[in-house]
């Protein structure tokens, strides 16, 4: 789901990043255990019955789920909240599952695919295709998907000298299409004289092809990003590549250039390590992970132009709280979601009551995302039932 305007939302500055520490090893399950102590009522010990909320899915949503889970467990001694990663695909499949791997809440950084569920008339209730489970989709925060590089490295210096990158230039950087197809295919349309004004024609996509400047070396651009199970992978691909080709590859397909060594991971920390270890590399992930690593990474300002380079397109906008909130950081702003098994509302309603409280929205800001405006909070609360 893409949005363009959220007028009236006041800027809420991130208040720190402590809640994100040690949350990026996505192959591990973060279990937040608060064990109630035996109380004494009428001289007898009474144990509190433990209830467990299981959450899994998107690495982008992971920091929000972790922050909410930790705070909710701390305030409610009878609740345990477990949060696991695995990607948006895992979030969809596990919340729809009736097997042992099922979860109460599936995290996703993209909308549902028609191969996963069918949407109801209300636009937010989904019927799982592989089970009889129905789920409710809830927006929990707003993210600005961020394009990043090693701070102070060769790629950073080049892009800074250019004034950012356009969507056309991002497509040229990441696409597995030939330059001829990018320019001349019916689904291409790039003005190559504008997109790569200094192209030396050697067939290698180099930083120097983008800009005639000493700041842009004739070094191949190395690619990093999310893996194919990630909603971030899906969203980036759908926005950057051919709008008719990435999600539906018949009869024409376009994707990430694996032959040029597109390196990907479900672990955003691995992407950070890849970028900081290669000054010619470029990558992307959720804004919260850029915020967490802003001391070693730089973020790219993006011009929303699908045909020309940033030098001609102008108006490149960097992701920050205000530009993500008002939609001016386009088209890479997006909603992120939690999806609830509708059989589990008695278990999870209190968790979402906390998440949509002022304290819950403060956690959203604290981990680096944009909290929901009041009107959207009211809409989400109405979905709680």
Do the strands 297-299 and 146-150 form a parallel or antiparallel pair, or are they unpaired?
antiparallel
CA distances to 36, 149, 226, 236 from 286, in Å: 35, 14, 10, 10
Q: Do 370 and 321 form a contact (C-beta atoms < 8 A)?
A: yes
Among 150, 157, 286, which residue's Cα sits nearest to residue 225?
A: 286
Quote the pLDDT of residue 243. Answer: 81
Span 176-219, pLDDT tens digits: 999 999 999 999 999 999 999 999 999 999 999 999 999 999 99
Among 342, 347, 359, which residue's Cα sits nearest to residue 127?
A: 342
Domains and CATH numbers, the chain: 18-142+336-383 (3.40.190.10), 146-318 (3.40.190.10)
Beta strands in the chain (DSSP E): 30-32, 39-41, 44-46, 51-57, 79-86, 105-108, 117-119, 125-128, 134-144, 146-150, 165-166, 222-226, 263-265, 281-285, 297-299, 302-303, 333-341
Span 257-316, pLDDT tens digits: 988 899 999 888 999 999 999 999 999 999 999 999 999 999 999 999 999 999 999 899
Quote the pLDDT of residue 46. Answer: 56
**How large a percentage of the chain has pLDDT more than 90?**
79
Quote the pLDDT of residue 45. Answer: 53
Quote the pLDDT of residue 6. Answer: 41
Quote the pLDDT of residue 290. Answer: 94
Quote the pLDDT of residue 248. Answer: 66
Q: Reduced to 3 states, what is the DSSP secondary structure of residue 135?
A: strand
Q: Do 34 and 70 form a contact (C-beta atoms < 8 A)?
A: no
Low-confidence ranges of the chain (pLDDT < 50): 1-43
Quote the pLDDT of residue 29. Answer: 43
């Amino acid at each position: 789901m893409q949005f363009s305007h959220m007028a009236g939302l006041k800027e809420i500055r991130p208040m720190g990043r402590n809640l994100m520490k040690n949350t990026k090893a996505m192959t591990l399950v973060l279990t937040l255990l608060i064990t109630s102590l035996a109380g004494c009522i009428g001289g007898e010990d009474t144990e509190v019955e433990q209830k467990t909320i299981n959450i899994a899915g998107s690495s982008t949503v992971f920091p929000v789920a972790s922050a909410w889970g930790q705070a909710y467990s701390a305030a409610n001694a009878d609740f345990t909240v477990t949060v696991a990663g695995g990607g948006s695909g895992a979030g969809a499949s596990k919340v729809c599952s009736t097997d042992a791997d099922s979860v109460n809440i599936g995290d996703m950084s993209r909308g549902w695919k028609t191969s996963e569920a069918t949407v109801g008339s209300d636009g937010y209730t989904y019927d799982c295709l592989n089970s009889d489970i129905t789920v409710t989709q809830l927006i929990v925060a707003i993210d600005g998907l961020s394009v990043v590089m090693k701070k102070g490295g060769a790629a950073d210096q080049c892009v800074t000298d250019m004034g950012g990158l356009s969507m056309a230039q991002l497509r040229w950087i990441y696409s597995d299409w030939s330059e001829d197809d990018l320019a001349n295919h019916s689904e291409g349309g790039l003005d190559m004289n504008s997109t790569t004004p200094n192209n030396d024609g050697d067939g290698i996509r180099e930083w120097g092809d983008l800009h005639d400047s000493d700041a842009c070396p004739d070094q191949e651009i190395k690619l990093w990003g999310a893996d194919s199970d990630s909603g971030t992978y899906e969203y980036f691909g759908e926005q950057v590549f051919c709008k008719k080709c990435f999600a539906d590859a018949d009869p024409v397909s376009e994707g990430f250039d694996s032959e040029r060594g597109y390196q990907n991971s479900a672990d955003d920390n691995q992407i950070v390590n890849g970028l900081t270890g290669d000054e010619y590399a470029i990558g992307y992930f959720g804004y919260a992970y850029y915020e967490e690593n802003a001391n070693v990474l730089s973020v790219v300002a993006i011009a929303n132009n699908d045909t020309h380079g940033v030098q001609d397109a102008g108006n490149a906008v960097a992701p920050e709280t205000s530009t993500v909130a008002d939609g001016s950081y386009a088209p890479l702003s997006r909603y992120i979601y939690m999806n609830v098994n509708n059989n589990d509302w008695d278990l999870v309603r209190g968790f979402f009551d906390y998440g949509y409280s002022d304290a819950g929205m403060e956690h959203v800001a604290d981990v680096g995302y944009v909290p929901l405006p009041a009107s959207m909070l009211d809409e989400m609360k109405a979905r709680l039932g």
